[in-house]
């Protein structure tokens, strides 16, 4: 039932008159043990969907925050295989929060598409985003995931025109991830006025929930974005807060949970 | 059966940018419209008379083409095998083959109305060539270069600055070519509308591998005419070093359908293929996806890209262009490798015997030329691509052979 766990997340949020909260965290950052606790705690704090980044040595579409998180994760010996273990352990206690894996294609290809998809199903992963695997190239991934009832989620971006959008939303399930800015993660700030029209276009075309991400750092931005979308995605801001707290010897797990609670509250619809 | 299938090598890539299983367009969605627009523009202009005239005029009067095909008489004598010819790309304006591709791409950028140029560079040769064409056409230029390379190729950094380019040292990852490419891609994702990314080798997402190869194919086309004029026949073998593959494919491509011409590519073996410090993606790697294409890559079991190592900054890259991977799997090309030490030795031999200081990159090819020439034997003919000159490398070489450059 993985796809329905994602649908449920959006339904629940809608019933509570808010946008679903999607939080991104890098597997193995700042340490593998803390990373596991962060998953539990941001779920408790209010994340409806957790995007777990699995690290890649060459994160071409990420800004400095997530690049550094990936390097830390790799230094902590995190792998795609261990990311699956992380999810498996998380699922022992938590059956409700949807889990989406997000990363780059090569670790997936290296594991093998069929095996990867099977692992997703076995460990309780509900959806997958492969950043550098556009519709033109993702047949193998798509086929593998479909056979295992795992959602393929693609990104639509400011450069995706109406014509391309049709291609992007074909064959996906779960939700559409709308990237609010042309840029890498965690750099430019979101401009909600500028993306309004594009988001409604995506919404009406996709007939799926739309979550908006990239550039949401503050509660104010979260609140404004929540007015436009079915979900909001926050990544680099959480990664930074957690790591800075960890570095300063503070309780980064609690800080992550508080962050989730605050953002969930901010995501209410007017 | 395979042979039949690959009979016409000029038919690749297919419309999806594939060379067999290799190549493709593995980029973030933000960049997809850009590379599709680039492909469309390239297909439109590559056969456009106006474009071709402007390109070939600049190749003649600005770059100084054709580059000579030179009979390396003393090196030939030294090895006592086949006759060795050098394709003298080091005599081009800016001192390497890289300018051929940069001119082609900037003419395209102009026609596409782009107003800002970015590039990655390893040895700095591509950076210098890009900075040069940007100066010539009055476009602002940002070059991404690994911080480690900024250090070991300082003469080229200064040249780029003199040409008006901005050099951005990349401190992420291994601080070499692959990280420079990551950073250039990040720039492009952030500036998709006004910016043209001039990739310096036959890698990256489609159409780059094809486009770069086509612009560089002038090397092989000239070499073919020149060797026919000099020897009245095709060579028995052609040889080039392999970073990403632009000088190699430039030489190889016009000869691919001449099945009797043997093709040798030489990868960088760094401290040795049996160590983890080398850059021989085809000898020591396996297929994967990086920088927009599927190709042979140095990677670990988890699919993490491994650090490459080579004394030559231009070969210090953990992948190769997808067409080279295809030529490997189909058996059309044979790949050899050369260690840092062997390259240094070959550099010195060529300098002393021929009075030509080759760059460290083609020194890797030079290190294998003796065996190839002997294998073919007297009466045979081989052509080797001297892809660049060694001036940029003198500090690295002085350091490696323990000489004080002033003494
Ligand atoms: C002189 C020279 N030869 C070869 C190379 C390797 O690149 P490629 O394999 O694309 O020819 C470089 C790269 O910087 C170079 O400067």
A20 CA to chain B: closest CA distance, Å? 23
From atom 10 of ligand 1, which residue's Cα is the shortest distance away? B246
**Do A80 and B182 count as a contact with CB atoms less than 8 A apart?**
no
Sign of CA dihedral B53, B253, B232, B351: positive
ipTM for the predicted complex: 0.96
Contact B97, B362 (CB under 8 A): no
> Can you list the domains of chain A with their CATH numbers?
2-266 (3.20.20.70)
**Do A108 and B291 count as a contact with CB atoms less than 8 A apart?**
no
Q: Which ligand 1 atom is at minimum distance from the Cα of B200? A: 10
From atom 6 of ligand 1, which residue's Cα is the shortest distance away? B243
List CB contacts of A101: < 8 A, sequence separation 6 or more.
Answer: A51, A52, A53, A54, A83, A87, A120, A125, A127, A128, A129
To the query of whether residue A62 is one of the catalytic residues in this protein, the response is yes
To the query of whether residue A51 is one of the catalytic residues in this protein, the response is yes
B281 CA to chain A: closest CA distance, Å? 15
Structure tokens at B117: 């140029």
What average pLDDT does this structure show over B142-155?
91
Nearest CA in chain A to B287: A110
CA-closest candidate to residue B213, choices B200, B228, B225: B200
CA-closest candidate to residue A129, choices A178, A76, A180, A71: A178
Is the peptide bond between A130 and the residue preceding it cis, with omega within 30 degrees of 0?
no
How far, in Å, is the centroid of ligand 1 from the Cα of A112?
33
Q: Tell me the C-alpha to C-alpha distance, in Å, between residue A176 and each of A5, A7, A135, B316.
A: 15, 12, 13, 39
CA-closest candidate to residue A214, choices A235, A228, A195, A243: A235
**Do B28 and A168 count as a contact with CB atoms less than 8 A apart?**
no
Size of interface A-B (CB pairs under 8 A): 120
Tell me: the pLDDT tens digits for B217-258?
999 999 999 999 999 999 999 999 999 999 999 999 999 999
- Indicate if the pLDDT at residue B4 is higher than 60: no
Interatomic CA distance for residues A86 and A150, integer angstroms:
18
- Indicate if the pLDDT at residue A187 is higher than 90: no
> Can you list the domains of chain B with their CATH numbers?
26-58+98-212 (3.40.50.1100), 64-95+217-401 (3.40.50.1100)
**Do A160 and B29 count as a contact with CB atoms less than 8 A apart?**
yes
- Indicate if the pLDDT at residue A83 is higher than 60: yes
List CB contacts of B325: < 8 A, sequence separation 6 or more.
Answer: B19, B22, B282, B287, B294, B295, B296
**Do A74 and B26 count as a contact with CB atoms less than 8 A apart?**
no
Residue B151 is predicted with a pLDDT of: 87
Question: CB B61: neighbour CB atoms within 10 A?
Answer: 10
Task: Spell out which residues of chain A touch residue B172, defining contact as CB-CB under 8 Å.
Answer: 64, 67
Helical H segments across B46-176, by residue range: 49-58, 73-79, 98-111, 125-137, 147-152, 154-162
How far, in Å, is the centroid of ligand 1 from the Cα of B280?
14
Interface test with A, best of B37, B180, B289 (most A CBs within 10 A): B289
Tell me: the pLDDT tens digits for A240-269?
999 999 999 999 999 999 999 999 999 999
Contact B174, B148 (CB under 8 A): yes
Tell me: the pLDDT tens digits for B339-365?
999 999 999 999 999 999 999 999 999
How far, in Å, is the centroid of ligand 1 from the Cα of B314?
5
- Indicate if the pLDDT at residue B403 is higher than 80: no
- Indicate if the pLDDT at residue B293 is higher than 80: yes
Q: Tell me the C-alpha to C-alpha distance, in Å, between residue A229 and each of A8, A158, B130.
A: 16, 15, 43
Interatomic CA distance for residues A14 and B384, integer angstroms:
67
**Do B33 and A161 count as a contact with CB atoms less than 8 A apart?**
yes
Reported confidence tier of residue B153, pLDDT bands at 50, 70, 90: confident
Task: Spell out which residues of chain A touch residue B29, defining contact as CB-CB under 8 Å.
Answer: 134, 154-157, 159-160, 168, 179
Return the percentage of chain A with pLDDT > 90, whole number. 93
For the ranges B1-5, B153-157, B322-326, the lowest mean pLDDT is seen at B1-5
Cβ < 6 A, ligand 1 pocket: B 96, 122-123, 125-126, 201, 241-248, 314-315, 359, 361-362, 387-388
Beta-sheet pairing, A98-103 with A49-53: parallel
Residue B405 is predicted with a pLDDT of: 67
Tell me: the pLDDT tens digits for B58-86?
999 999 999 999 999 999 999 999 999 99
Structure tokens at B222: 């000239």
- Indicate if the pLDDT at residue B5 is higher than 60: no
Of A107, A131, A159, the CB nearest to B303: A107
How far, in Å, is the centroid of ligand 1 from the Cα of A178?
39
3-state DSSP assignment of residue B83: strand
Interatomic CA distance for residues B338 and B192, integer angstroms:
39
In 3-state terms, chain A is what percent helix, strand and coil (to 5)? Answer: 50, 15, 35
How far, in Å, is the centroid of ligand 1 from the Cα of B44?
28
Residue B1 is predicted with a pLDDT of: 41
Interatomic CA distance for residues B310 and A75, integer angstroms:
23
What is the average pLDDT value for chain B, to the nearest integer? Answer: 95
CA-closest candidate to residue B51, choices B39, B40, B43: B43
- Indicate if the pLDDT at residue B2 is higher than 50: no
Tell me: the pLDDT tens digits for A98-117?
999 999 999 999 999 999 99
**Bridge partners, residue A29, by sequence:** none
Reported confidence tier of residue B41, pLDDT bands at 50, 70, 90: very high
């Amino acid at each position: 039932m993985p796809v329905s766990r994602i649908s449920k997340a959006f339904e629940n949020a809608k019933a509570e008159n808010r946008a679903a909260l999607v939080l991104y965290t890098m597997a193995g950052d700042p340490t593998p043990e803390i990373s596991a606790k962060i998953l539990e705690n941001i779920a408790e704090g209010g994340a409806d969907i957790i995007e777990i980044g699995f690290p890649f040595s060459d994160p071409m579409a990420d800004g400095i925050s997530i690049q550094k998180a990936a390097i830390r994760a790799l230094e902590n010996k995190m792998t795609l295989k261990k990311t699956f273990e992380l999810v498996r352990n998380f699922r022992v206690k938590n059956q409700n929060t949807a889990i989406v894996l997000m990363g780059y294609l090569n670790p997936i290809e290296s594991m093998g598409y069929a095996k990867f998809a099977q692992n997703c199903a076995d460990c309780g992963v509900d959806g997958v985003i492969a950043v550098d695997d556009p519709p033109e190239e993702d047949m193998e991934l798509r086929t593998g995931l479909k056979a295992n009832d795992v959602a393929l989620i693609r990104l639509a971006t400011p450069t995706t025109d109406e014509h391309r959008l049709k291609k992007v939303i074909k064959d996906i399930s779960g939700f559409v991830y709308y990237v609010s800015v042309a840029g890498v993660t965690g750099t430019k700030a979101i401009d909600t006025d500028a993306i309004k029209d594009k988001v409604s276009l995506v919404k009406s075309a996709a007939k799926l929930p739309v979550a908006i991400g990239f550039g949401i750092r503050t509660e104010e931005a979260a609140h404004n974005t929540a007015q436009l979308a079915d979900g909001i995605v926050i990544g680099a801001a959480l990664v930074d807060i957690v790591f800075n707290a960890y570095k300063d010897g503070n309780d980064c797990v609690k800080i992550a949970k508080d962050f989730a609670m605050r953002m969930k509250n901010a995501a209410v619809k007017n | 059966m395979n042979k039949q299938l690959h009979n016409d090598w000029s038919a690749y890539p297919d419309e999806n940018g594939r060379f067999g299983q290799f190549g493709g367009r593995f980029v973030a969605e933000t960049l997809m419209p850009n590379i599709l627009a680039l492909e469309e523009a390239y297909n439109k202009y590559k056969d456009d008379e106006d474009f071709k005239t402007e390109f070939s005029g600049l190749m003649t009067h600005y770059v100084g083409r054709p580059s000579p095909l030179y009979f390396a008489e003393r090196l030939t004598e030294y090895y006592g095998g086949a006759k060795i010819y050098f394709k003298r790309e080091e005599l081009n304006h800016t001192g390497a083959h890289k300018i051929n591709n940069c001119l082609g791409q900037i003419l395209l950028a102009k026609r596409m109305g782009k107003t800002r140029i970015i590039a990655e560079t390893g040895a700095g040769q591509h950076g210098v060539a890009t900075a040069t064409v940007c100066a010539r056409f009055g476009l602002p230029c940002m070059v991404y270069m690994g911080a480690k390379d900024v250090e070991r190729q300082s003469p080229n950094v200064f040249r780029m600055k003199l040409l008006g380019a901005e050099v951005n040292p990349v401190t992420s990852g291994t601080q070499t070519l692959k990280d420079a490419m990551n950073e250039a891609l990040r720039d492009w994702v952030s500036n998709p509308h006004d910016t043209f990314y001039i990739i310096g080798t036959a890698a990256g997402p489609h159409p780059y591998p094809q486009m770069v190869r086509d612009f560089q194919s002038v090397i092989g086309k000239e070499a073919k005419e020149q060797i026919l004029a000099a020897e009245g026949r095709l060579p028995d073998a052609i040889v080039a070093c392999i970073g990403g593959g632009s000088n190699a494919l430039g030489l190889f491509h016009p000869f691919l359908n001449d099945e009797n011409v043997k093709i040798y590519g030489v990868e960088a073996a760094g401290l040795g293929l049996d160590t983890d410090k080398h850059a021989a993606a085809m000898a020591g790697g396996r297929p994967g996806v990086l920088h927009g294409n599927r190709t042979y890559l140095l990677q670990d079991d988890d699919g993490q890209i491994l650090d490459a190592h080579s004394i030559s900054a231009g070969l210090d890259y953990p992948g190769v262009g997808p067409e080279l991977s295809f030529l490997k799997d189909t058996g059309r090309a044979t790949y050899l490798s050369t260690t840092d030490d062997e390259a240094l030795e070959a550099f010195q031999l060529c300098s002393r015997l021929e009075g030509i200081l080759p760059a460290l990159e083609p020194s890797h090819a030079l290190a294998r030329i003796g065996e190839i020439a002997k294998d073919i034997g007297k009466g045979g003919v081989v052509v080797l691509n001297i892809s660049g000159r060694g001036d940029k490398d003198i500090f690295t070489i002085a350091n490696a052979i323990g000489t004080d450059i002033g003494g």
